[in-house]
Amino acid sequence: MSRSAHPAGPRHADVLPEGHYSAPPADLNALDPKVWAETVTRDADGVLTVGGIDVKRLAEEFGTPAYFLDERDFRARARAWRTAFGGDADVFYAGKAFLSRAVVRWLDEEGLNLDVCSGGELATALSGGMPAERIAFHGNNKSVAEIRRAVEAGVGRIVLDSFQEIVRVAHIARELGRRQRVQIRVTVGVEAHTHEFIATAHEDQKFGIPLAGGQAAEAVRRALQLDGIELIGIHSHIGSQIFDMSGFEVAAHRVVGLLREIRDEHGVELPEIDLGGGLGIAYTSGDDPREPHEIAKALTEIVTRECEAARLTTPRISVEPGRAVVGPTAFTLYEVGTVKPLEGLRTYVSVDGGMSDNIRTALYDAEYSVVLASRVSDAEPVLCRVVGKHCESGDIVVKDAFLPGDLAPGDLVAVPATGAYCRSMASNYNHVLRPPVVAVRDGEARVIVRRETEEDLLRLDVG
């Protein structure tokens, strides 16, 4: 079933164009556990399986393209985050990565809280049964209606993102006869990119209130004066798909610095600090993410150390992982439609989805891997680009990948690590219908978000 490597064979050396791809993997049929969900494996016939069900059966029953989510893996990852922080911290799953009512139920059962950032996510969270006090409401421009709904529902915290919002939330809460618990989101002057962070002199972005120039301190001053809100902490989110903990270190240092200033000026020790999400996952074998327990240990140590230095009682920590919980738990299954070898360049493999179900490659130049899923093959590796069916040449799912040279229309291919920011950022571009999300567990598969239909599309088009 496996074959030996053919890394520098003349066939590639002669035809490989300029690019950043690596050599073909030693075994094209192998599954790197780093990028695949826990229960994904190949059965005796070499067919990819998840939760004990093979993808040929899944494709027959649910069609392609489709996202298949390993429920056991999701729950295990959620639990790992929960137990890593123990009782001393709160884990808020960032719903923007992927949210559905089934997911809300799993989170509730596994003891996680939920971060939502729009009225739609709030509605899904409440409808899925998440207790309101375990919901945090985010966003840089929440509407009055959204704020009202969140306060009425009794969300545990609203994360305030601007001076206007401080007044707006306080006003709405007063009107409703409530005292809303809030955090203030600050920008700490650390800008985190995929694999590195760059310390910036000024905070040139739309989120949060800058620490620089005393703006965050002024926001705290105002928040403490308003009786519609109760300021419970400071929030910082430095970016996404981060591997390097040093950005968090700088953020914790600066946030604790603000807590100290607040204590010195107001005699108040705020009880909470939220360090946001952003922890990276493996999209390809080259990525080496940290485990939740390592992250928990590092963050707890940083905050404790900084607080001891500032003679502050260590506040309760919260974190907001999205990608790191759901990203690795799902893969997208596509059917190959056409295979177009371009001499001296690469082979274009067109699948039945594309940028409407995974915009990340086009938008962020994201890297993914791909395998032939419906069978194994001993054919020579060929440099391929997996592209979608949309009318746009940037419609790329996997930029550079080696696939077996006998790949043919009708084969199924699977792209791992598509659980986060793929379905949640899916679109109807070209009026392509958004794929379903199917949860698989212990030999059972269940649609948790159904496939869109033409009726769905036409229902919005009122003629």
Instruction: Please pick, from the candidates 115, 161, 272, 306, the single residue that binds ligand LLP as defined by CB under 6 A.
Output: 115
What does the per-residue mask of binding to ligand LLP show for 228-267, with x meaning CB under 6 A?
A: ---------x--xx--------------------------
Q: How far is the CB of 237 from ligand LLP (least distance, A)?
A: 4
How many angstroms from the chain centroid is the CA of residue 336?
A: 27
Q: Are 337 and 383 in contact (CB under 8 A)?
A: no
Q: Are 103 and 448 in contact (CB under 8 A)?
A: yes
Site for ligand LLP in 128-147 (CB under 6 A): 138
Q: How far is the CB of 455 from ligand LLP (least distance, A)?
A: 29
Let me know how many helices (H) and strands (E) the chain has, helices first.
13, 23
Q: Are 383 and 20 in contact (CB under 8 A)?
A: no
Give the interface segment with ligand LLP, choosing from 102-110, 166-174, 256-264, 270-278 (CB under 6 A). Answer: 270-278
Kindly state whether residue 180 participates in binding ligand LLP, applying the rule CB under 6 A: no
Kindly state whether residue 421 participates in binding ligand LLP, applying the rule CB under 6 A: yes
Kindly state whether residue 323 participates in binding ligand LLP, applying the rule CB under 6 A: yes
Structure tokens at 292: 């939740």
Kindly state whether residue 97 participates in binding ligand LLP, applying the rule CB under 6 A: yes
Instruction: Please pick, from the candidates 42, 142, 360, 441, the single residue that binds ligand LLP as defined by CB under 6 A.
Output: 360
Q: Cβ closer to ligand LLP: 368 or 402?
A: 368
Give the interface segment with ligand LLP, choosing from 143-151, 176-184, 252-260, 274-282 (CB under 6 A). Answer: 274-282
What phi and psi, each to the nearest 5 degrees, are found at residue 219? -60, -40
Q: How far is the CB of 159 from ligand LLP (least distance, A)?
A: 7
Annotated catalytic residue 307:
no
Kindly state whether residue 94 participates in binding ligand LLP, applying the rule CB under 6 A: yes
Nearest to 93 by CA among 105, 75, 72, 107: 107
Catalytic residue among 117, 307, 384, 391: 391
Contacts 24+ apart (CB under 8 A), 423-428: 423/67, 423/98, 423/357, 423/449, 424/96, 424/97, 424/98, 424/99, 425/359, 425/360, 425/363, 426/356, 426/357, 426/358, 426/359, 427/355, 427/356, 427/359, 428/356, 428/452, 428/457
Q: Cβ closer to ligand LLP: 48 or 238?
A: 238
Kindly state whether residue 300 participates in binding ligand LLP, applying the rule CB under 6 A: no
Q: Are 81 and 106 in contact (CB under 8 A)?
A: no
Kindly state whether residue 156 participates in binding ligand LLP, applying the rule CB under 6 A: no
What phi and psi, each to the nearest 5 degrees, are found at residue 357? -110, -10
Name the region of 431 (left: φ>0; alpha: ψ -120 to 50; beta: rest). left
Kindly state whether residue 332 participates in binding ligand LLP, applying the rule CB under 6 A: no
Distance CA 329, CA 77 (A): 9
Q: Cβ closer to ligand LLP: 66 or 326?
A: 326
Kindly state whether residue 317 participates in binding ligand LLP, applying the rule CB under 6 A: no
Site for ligand LLP in 60-79 (CB under 6 A): none
Q: How far is the CB of 240 from ligand LLP (least distance, A)?
A: 3
Contacts of 184 (CB under 8 A, 6+ apart): 159, 160, 166, 209, 216, 219, 220, 223, 231, 233, 234, 235
Distance CA 433, CA 208 (A): 35
What does the per-residue mask of binding to ligand LLP show for 383-412, with x meaning CB under 6 A?
A: ------------------------------
Which are the catalytic amino acids? 391
- Which residues of this chain interact with ligand LLP, rule CB under 6 A? 94, 96-97, 115, 138, 237, 240-241, 276-279, 320-324, 360, 364, 420-421
